[in-house]
Structure 1
């Protein structure tokens, strides 16, 4: 077991022997930062490949010790372990740390402890799905208000680097940070106390890491601990509200809901295509403030999917908790541009839309994606990561024109379709190579009719066929463009 006692974590780092677990982006960032603060740093990593060796050479040139090929043994004399987010809590290194009375924290904890007297406030976001989109929406809204901000955490620049460089070399200090936090990062951040925070949704994910759904939810709920102004939750997801109820917050901190329906007092919601605020108004019982139109959410990217409307409401709630004006909410949502592979419109060919949502790597994300379109030819499959697909298929069956299956665990989806959608046409491609995607797109095109949407929302991880979901989405987009080229 790892320990999480903030009182045991040293206040300063100079002169300490600190072991950093992992040679990833956050590990390298933490190692450099801690060495710069006078700590004696050793980085350990179980790998010893070319990439690790190159990173090791760079760190060693900066006076940082690196041990490759052994990520399990605790270096002698270690005072503190700083872990990269993905290392499991039951790792042998952490068991050795616990036995030695040494605490384990993550880079978010280090960043939180390194904040200076003029530190920027943190507006924090977590959830099973939608974190990156919401944080980028939030940053766009804050910028529209004229605030100096950036998106950090599980996204963009490592948060330790941002905190250490706050206001240095004449740079304008950040007023507020839009912080994306994964369940991994929250697990290792016991001292975090945000200005305001949101949990967007909860669905089974990463259970092999956390051990149970209860442990996963508890780590997500850490984001609410010590909140000063607002705990933002999803009215449609009771589990997020339960986490608010269980949180120990500062006196006066409010629970703020968001809903795709008409909002009640202390909620943000949607009325006749308008995003409205009944939380941050003078009379919550009788007043509502218009914030933006649904059509203002990333205009030019097609109609806003319901889950992206929910993301926009969560971002707006956090911004309003920070005192941002209604006009800035509207202008920020208009300025926001979705990242690739997240409900990305690739093309329309002969009346059929082709949408890349390769980022839908679990059933919860795929369900939200499938709910955004009326008639769908669905491309699905990959690594299931222990997921089951019955509920997903039951929810989507009325929308499915056809399904094309790819990937190692496609049989699980095929069997769920046979149980709950026997009338739906299914093409099962017995392939797990990258060349399967062009064939999948051709088969989906054959099944589609004008007005349909060919949707890549795999509900699975990509690593059986592709390096990551980005490469999977790129392969889909390339295959669609091949269709366009053939038609010209």
Structure 2
């Protein structure tokens, strides 16, 4: 990773500065290496001391970086300050919660705290690629990947970066030159990125998530809303989610920046939407009161589930804000292939479709998934992370043929089904071993009828039974293959 693009002001700001990097992992390690390479005096503090952390320590210490494994909140002298001696700046991994003692100590001492996104933003060169940024409770990764596909179809040099794909530091400091970047940003990353100013940005949706980290829904929404601050061309919001439009209204943007809505219905002026199976633009056209531009057909979106069409419209809005043609939007959407475990059709067995949406790890994502099918045998459960399921079940009740429940917190879903869908047959599997998935799929097959969809949309995290949602989805797919064998 070179530093040829770094601005002279960023170099002078960081050279010789005593910087504490909070947290190792995906973002902390490259941040520490970059800062060291720029001439900063770097100390890394990390909560854990597992095997991976120790390997990263060895790599950094070989460079001359100081690393302390432990809680990272005490200084050399053990003083109450809680900051490593001489700290002038903290660069934190996004997962470190704002209530950490280290950050309280930084606040008392007047020491600024940056995230890896803030660091990348400040290290951009004078000819840096503009950022088209996306956040939201669900759909971020898919939307950013769709956006990158559209930008590539327009002949632009781009990459999907941030919370996915290429790291932002690599994109900013690497040798590759980009015309524009498609940037996924989490609420954690936005919390620690006060200087970020995107070309255009979108908030896809807002639902309770990560509240243990942010402390409240209001704080979570406010951090999501930071993505709009200083936007130059467009703030893209979800017409169906008023909270996203409220964030646009509250944002301090550059003169001339426009609010652009996306909707699954017929679009009003300054919106993108759907008319008779066609994605249309009434925002980036001349005389938008009277005219609309056809962008693509609903069938060009893969898969054409309602929430994925919304993702496509948001991606199209950001691309159009950057001046991309309608033809490139169509070609980019056609070329896009979703990641695994996102409404992935696994197989049809005896007239029943089996669909893996293991990525639906919260109720908001599961709600969107359940809305995509008419008659469903639902496989759900896992770690609820404090969620409640009444609203989800009440909304989906009329679509449910049956439900098969797995995982540690399945009783919460079973109780919601009893309250809001008492006529739906429920199979409660009293086991949390990985082999439970095969039994779950077998039970779902027994409940299903030709024309139904057996849908894995757990509405819960996976770690009670599986390493991650990918492993859970893989187990589902393997079980389905055994049915068809």
Q: What TM bracket, shorter-length normalisation?
A: over 0.9
Query: Using a 3 Å threshold, how does the CA distance of structure 1 residues 10 and 423 change in structure 2: closer, same or farther?
Result: farther
Task: Tell me by how many angstroms 1:99 deviates.
Answer: 2.1
Aligned counterpart, 1:69: 70
1:85-131 deviation line (CA, Å, top 9, x unaligned): 11100011111222222111100000000010110000000000000
Mapping for residues 419-430 of structure 1, pairs under 5 Å: 419-430=419-430
Picking from 197, 201, 207, the partner of 2:205 is 201
* 1:72–1:432 Cα change, 3 Å: farther
Q: Render the CA deviation track for 1:305-328: whole Å, top value 9, x for unaligned.
A: 000000000000000000000000
Other-structure match for 1:41: 42
In 2, are the aligned partners of 1:33 and 1:161 still within 8 Å (CA)? no
Aligned to 1:164: 173
SS of equivalent residue, structure 1 residue 275: strand
**Aligned partners of 1:271 and 1:62: how far apart in 2?**
58
Q: Find the partner of 2:221 among 203, 217, 226.
A: 217
SS in 1 for 2:13: coil
| 1:189-240 residue CA offsets vs partner (Å, 9 max, x unmatched) | 0000000000000000000000000000000000000000000000000000
- Where 1:179 maps in the other structure, the secondary structure is strand
Q: Deviations over 1:119-150 (max 9, x none)?
A: 00000000000000000000000000000000
Q: Does 1:262 align with 2:251?
A: no
SS at match of 1:465: coil
Check whether the contact 1:358–1:457 (CA below 8 A) recurs between aligned residues: yes
Cα distance change, pair 364–39 in 1 and its aligned pair in 2 (3 A)? same
Q: 1:296 aligns with which of 300, 303, 308?
A: 300
Please state how far the C-alpha of 1:10 moved relative to its aligned partner: 9.8
Query: Which residue does 1:448 correspond to in 2?
Result: 448
* Alpha-carbon distance in structure 2 between the residues aligned to 1:446 and 1:474: 21
Aligned partner of 2:343 in structure 1 is 343
- Map 1:95-134 to 2 at 5 A: 95-134=104-143
- Alignment of structure 1 residues 283-322 onto 2, 5 Å: 283-298=287-302, 303-322=303-322
- The aligned length equals 468
Per-residue CA deviation, residues 309-348 of structure 1 (Å, 9 max, x unaligned), is: 0000000000000000000000000000000010011111
Structure 1 CA distance, aligned partners of 2:420 and 2:186?
33
1:142-181, aligned counterparts within 5 Å?
142-165=151-174, 168=175, 171=176, 173-181=177-185
1:71 shift after superposition: 2.6
**TM-score, normalized by length of structure 1?**
0.95
Distance 1:88 1:263 in 2: 39
Encode CA deviations 1:1-48: one digit per residue, 9 max, x unaligned: xxxxxxxx9972110111111111111111111111111111111111
Q: State the partner residue of 2:3.
A: none
Contact 1:11 1:113 (8 Å CA) reproduced: no
* SS of match in other structure, 1:25: helix
Please say if residues 11 and 38 of structure 2, whose CA atoms lie closer than 8 Å, have aligned partners that are also in contact. no
1:410 & 1:10 partners in 2: Cα distance? 53
Q: 1 CA distance for matches of 2:217 and 2:133?
A: 21
- Structure 1 unaligned residues grouped into runs of 5+: 1-8
Give the Cα–Cα distance (whole angstroms) in 2 for the partners of residues 84 and 483 of structure 1. Answer: 43
TM-score, normalised via structure 2 length: 0.95
Structure 2: which 5+ runs fail to align? 1-9, 75-82
Deviating above 6 A after TM superposition, structure 1's stretches of 4 or more consecutive aligned residues are none
In structure 1, the residue corresponding to 2:391 is in which secondary structure? helix
Could you say which residue in structure 1 is the equivalent of 2:405?
Answer: 405
The 5-angstrom pairing of residues 230-379 of structure 1 reads 230-298=234-302, 303-379=303-379
Partner-residue secondary structure (3-state), 1:125 = strand
Return the offset for 1:72.
2.4
Query: What residue number does 1:89 align with?
Result: 98
In the alignment, the residues of structure 1 paired with residue 480 and residue 96 of structure 2 have an alpha-carbon distance, to the nearest angstrom, of 37
Deviations 1:250-276 (A, max 9, x none): 000000000000000000000010000
Q: Structure 1 residue 400: deviation in Å?
A: 0.2
Query: Is 1:140 aligned to residue 141 of structure 2?
Result: no
Instruction: Tell me, in whole angstroms, the C-alpha distance in 2 between the residues paired with 1:10 and 1:458.
Output: 47
Q: Distance in 2 between matches of 1:454 and 1:78?
A: 55
Q: CA RMSD in A?
A: 1.1
- Cα distance in 2 between the residues matched to 1:134 and 1:70: 36
2:403 is paired with a residue whose SS is: strand
